[in-house]
Structures are given as structure tokens and as C-alpha cells.
Amino acid sequence: MQEIAQDVLIKAQKGDIEAFEKIYRVASNYVYNLAFRITGNNEEAEEITQEVFLKIYSNLKYFQFRCAIKTWIYRITVNAAINASKKRSRELARRADFDEDILYKPTSEILKQRLDREENELLVERLLKLLNPQQRACVVLRDIQGLSYKEIAQTLRININTVRSRLKRARQALLDAVKKG
């Protein structure tokens, strides 16, 4: 995500719609990608992106520049994605007839190169789904988004040792899953 100039943030805090649109243009793809990596669901990631920007719009006036805007947006996105994942898990548990394969049904029109890429993405998504939402968030922020342990701790508002232990458990679970095939 590109940096957002402080003057743009200040204007948006004062209600300038054009300034908020600049924030949206800079951050929307990043918010969507982060939400998608955590939830593994395109539609859910789109909804989370909308929810995140509604939260940003209504709470931007309270942003006090104590952390980077990027960290603040991460925190909102990760929390929204984790909450959505938990909600979906509860819904799936209630629906015995839910067919998860429908979400990832490949079409015959996909070219081989695109199919290979999508298969790799599906594998990553399936592996990430094996983790609980807290572990998944840590893995996505560390191994996909490249955040430091300290940045992850700040983003998720947890202790850095909790980040380390969640990552260790998550990586071990992923290794075990890959070994099992």
C-alpha cells in the first residue's frame, strides 16, 4: 500500500470527500487482498472491504497519528476479517448441507497458465483454512504481507510473544497438513 500524505488524512478527517476518495483509491486493493487472504472468500472479502471503509470513514476523525495509518487500516481489516470468519464458521456449523466445493468450482474456460496459478492460490487458501482465525491472521500478516513481529503485535493488539507462538503453532499445523497430503 502506498503512503497516504498526512494533509490528505487531515482533510478527510474534516469531512473532505475527495480526500477520503484518495484514501480509498490507495488502500482499497490492499484491504480487499488482506481480507481475502484471511477469509478465503471473494464475496466476503468484498463485503469486508465495504465494512472497513465505512468504519474508516466514521472513525477517521478519531485517528490521532499515534501509529501509521497503514497499521490502523490493517487493524480494522484484520479484526473485520476475523469476525467475519468466526461468523461464517458458526453458520457453516449450523448448515449440514453446505457444499464448500461450489465456492471453488473451476470453469472449463480457464487457460492452463491461469489454472495453475489459481490451483496454487486454492492450495494456499485451503491450507490457511486449516488454521484458526487468529493464527491465520498472523500467518497472512507475516508470510504474505511481510509485516514484522512487532507490526503484527501492534496491528492485532497482542503481545509479541503471542505472535511468535501463534506463528509457530500455525506453521507446525501447516507442515503436518502438507505431510499428510
CATH number of the domain to which 89 belongs: 1.10.1740.10
Domain-located, residue 136: yes
Predicted local confidence at residue 100, as pLDDT? 47
Predicted local confidence at residue 96, as pLDDT? 46
C-beta neighbour count of 93 within 10 angstroms: 9
Averaged pLDDT, 41-63: 94
Domain-located, residue 64: yes
- Encoded amino acid at 127, one letter: L
DSSP 106: P
Domain span at 97? 6-180
**Grid cell locating 112:** 492452463
Predicted local confidence at residue 102, as pLDDT? 47
pLDDT tens across 125-167, in order?
A: 888 888 898 998 998 888 888 889 998 999 889 999 999 999 9
Domain-located, residue 31: yes
Q: What is the pTM of this model?
A: 0.60
Predicted local confidence at residue 112, as pLDDT? 67
Distance CA 173, CA 66 (A): 35
C-beta neighbour count of 65 within 10 angstroms: 11
Q: Quick check: 74 and 155 in contact, CB under 8 A?
A: yes
Domain-located, residue 1: no
CA angle 173, 178, 181 (to 5 degrees): 130
When divided into structural domains, the chain yields a total of 1
Going by C-alpha positions, the residue among 81, 180, 170 that lies closest to residue 128 is 170
